[in-house]
Structure 1
Amino acid sequence: MMLWFIRGVTALSRIAAAVASLMIVVGALVVCQMVFMRYVLGESTYWQTEFVTFMLIGATLLASPYVLHERGHVNVDLLPMLLGPKGRIALAVIGNFIAFAFIVIVAYTGFMLWLEYYETGWRSYSVWAPRLWIPMTFLPLGMILLALQYIAQTAAIVMGVEEPFSMEAEQLLKEQSESQSEQPGGSMPEAKQARTAQAHGGVNHE
């Protein structure tokens, strides 16, 4: 049952990321249209800048669950590298719980703002004056999807389906250590060998 939940949330995150990618493409096309209208045809533009701003912010919010799924957020690997497997799982669960609580607060606040904009029909103060509840929809929607992704990721970590951390730094250190051990002359790095030779008066004893 939980595996189906994890797969379903992952599918939603991928769909949201695809929509976000499309929004970025649309925003880029609108920027090209704005440049053409203003500098080629010499006509004024009044809605393009605000539209592109809404598109980029909305794309960022919608893509955040997929970024979490792909472990694309900034993280520090030093503490997980010092912990054992159980410690890494505990650290990941605690970190995800704190992040989940923060995301729930943001989602609730965003929903209340969206509801206020929807009920009052509040518009932007620009010349275009779009209804603000439309772009505001991306805030609670993106945060809800992000909260679901945190739940799915935590469940996958506890069940052993996913590793608690990507540990790319640890993997790089292992690969570097293995490559150095395969070099002629043992595992001593070349820089250390050079310093050793200098300490002996630069004499090569081969």
Structure 2
Amino acid sequence: MTMLCKVLRVLVGLLMVSLVCVVALGIFYRYALQDSLYWATEVPNFLMIWIVMLGSVVAFHERGHIAFTLLGQSLGGRRQALLECVCAVVVLVLLGVLVFSGAIVVEDTMHSLSEALRIPKGYIYASLPICAALMMVSAFGQLYACARRLWS
């Protein structure tokens, strides 16, 4: 998963560079050329969605999201490992729901085209089930790690 996180970091960086370039190009066309690019607002929106979702996968894997650890740290030992296992299972269930419901949304929106680019909106909404599935891989790893601590 760490190799995947490195790839995702590079991809997010490239998407951010693309976002800056598209926005700068839109500004240049608007103010310097007194014209507008018909897609200059849609592309940044789509890029931002993918940047946030892919970045959240990296943050999830690296445990970069906000967490309340006071209770777990106060328990210590096996009880802390048990609490972490329970939390990992809850997270896996929620991510499974996101994958399932996200796939339904993607399927339902594949025939709905975006305004400017005329691409299926399902490609944009696909970020949810794809990133939730990637988070599930990491969550299974976290569950395995805390289960090993629980039984060792």
Q: Out of 5, 19, 31, which is 2:11 matched to? A: 19
TM-score (norm 1): 0.66
1:52 aligns with 2:52: no
Query: Cα distance, 1:38 vs. partner?
Result: 0.6
Q: Give the secondary structure class of the aligned counterpart of 2:41.
A: helix
Which sits farther off after the overlay, 60-69 or 24-33?
A: 60-69
Q: How many residues align?
A: 149
- The CA RMSD over aligned residues, in Å, is 1.7
TM-score (norm 2): 0.88
**Contact 2:23–2:44 (CA under 8 A) maintained in structure 1:** yes
What residue in structure 2 maps to residue 101 of structure 1? 93
What residue in structure 2 maps to residue 116 of structure 1? 108
1:155 aligns with 2:144: yes
Runs of 4+ in 1 over 6 A off after TM superposition: none
Query: Cα distance, 1:158 vs. partner?
Result: 2.7
Query: Cα distance, 1:21 vs. partner?
Result: 2.2
Query: Cα distance, 1:72 vs. partner?
Result: 0.4
Query: Cα distance, 1:116 vs. partner?
Result: 2.3
**Contact 2:19–2:44 (CA under 8 A) maintained in structure 1:** yes
1:41 aligns with 2:30: no
5+ residue gaps, structure 1? 1-8, 161-206
Q: How does 1:122-137 map to 2 (within 5 A)?
A: 122-124=112-114, 126-137=115-126
Counterpart amino acid of 1:147?
Answer: M
Q: Give the secondary structure class of the aligned counterpart of 1:102.
A: helix
CA distance in 2, matches of 1:10, 1:105: 25
1:66 aligns with 2:58: yes
Q: Deviations over 1:8-39 (max 9, x none)?
A: x3322332232122112211111111111111
Counterpart amino acid of 1:108?
Answer: F
Which sits farther off after the overlay, 104-113 or 44-53?
A: 44-53
What residue in structure 2 maps to residue 194 of structure 1? none
**Contact 1:103–1:146 (CA under 8 A) maintained in structure 2:** yes
Query: Cα distance, 1:137 vs. partner?
Result: 2.2
CA distance in 2, matches of 1:85, 1:14: 32
CA distance in 2, matches of 1:98, 1:90: 12
CA distance in 2, matches of 1:144, 1:70: 16
Query: Cα distance, 1:117 vs. partner?
Result: 2.5
Q: Deviations over 1:48-76 (max 9, x none)?
A: 21111111111211222221121100011
CA distance in 2, matches of 1:152, 1:117: 32
Q: Out of 133, 139, 145, which is 2:128 matched to? A: 139
**Contact 1:10–1:149 (CA under 8 A) maintained in structure 2:** no
